[in-house]
Amino acid sequence: MLRLTKKLLFGLEAVLDIAYNAKARPVQAAAITRRQGIPKRYLEQVLQALVRDGMLIGQRGPKGGYRLAKEASAISVADIVRIVRTIEATPDPLIGAPASALGHRIVRPIWQELQARQIAALEALSLADLIERAKAQGVEAET
């Protein structure tokens, strides 16, 4: 089952901030920290993972920052979740832990089904969808 951790929450907020506020210039990490209140130690780790996995493009220099590597409509929330989960140290309790026959054959499959449904729902939700929700809620972009 997907757990909403700090890193996952911050990763989603950071990518959405970049998508929502990036126009002609990349979005600087300091601006994301200021707008979203994400601690720098979390933000840098998450942004680096997103760049490594090709979700974001990092640009160095005084006018550098981050931008999406592809269109917001081509990025699902599940894409972001998968990348951020790889940097989390929490092991999946469904993998490798001992369990009874009831646990292996009944309980774990239920949780695996629920997790698959969650991922499917997140696959169907793009970053562009989140941008539209933000606009509908009156959230103003900074740029």
Percent of the chain with pLDDT over 90: 63
Q: What does the pLDDT read at residue 14?
A: 96
- Joined tokens for residue 70: 């592809």
CATH number, domain containing residue 41? 1.10.10.10
Q: Could you tell me if residue 82 is inside a domain?
A: yes
Q: Could you tell me if residue 142 is inside a domain?
A: no
- Residue 56 confidence (pLDDT) above 90: yes
Q: Could you tell me if residue 141 is inside a domain?
A: no
Can you tell me the mean pLDDT for 26-45? 92
Closest to 67 in 3D by CA, of 34, 129, 123, 20: 20
Decide: 67 and 26 in contact? Cβ < 8 Å: yes
pLDDT digits (tens, 9 = 90+) for 1-25: 678 888 899 999 999 999 999 878 8
Q: Could you tell me if residue 143 is inside a domain?
A: no
Q: Could you tell me if residue 1 is inside a domain?
A: no
Domain count, the chain: 1
Q: Could you tell me if residue 24 is inside a domain?
A: yes
Q: Could you tell me if residue 32 is inside a domain?
A: yes
Q: Could you tell me if residue 99 is inside a domain?
A: yes
Per the document, the length of the chain is: 143
CA pseudo-torsion sign 23, 65, 18, 122? positive
Q: What does the pLDDT read at residue 49?
A: 94
Domain carrying residue 124 = 6-136
pLDDT band (50, 70, 90) for residue 63 = confident
- Joined tokens for residue 84: 């951020």
pLDDT band (50, 70, 90) for residue 143 = low
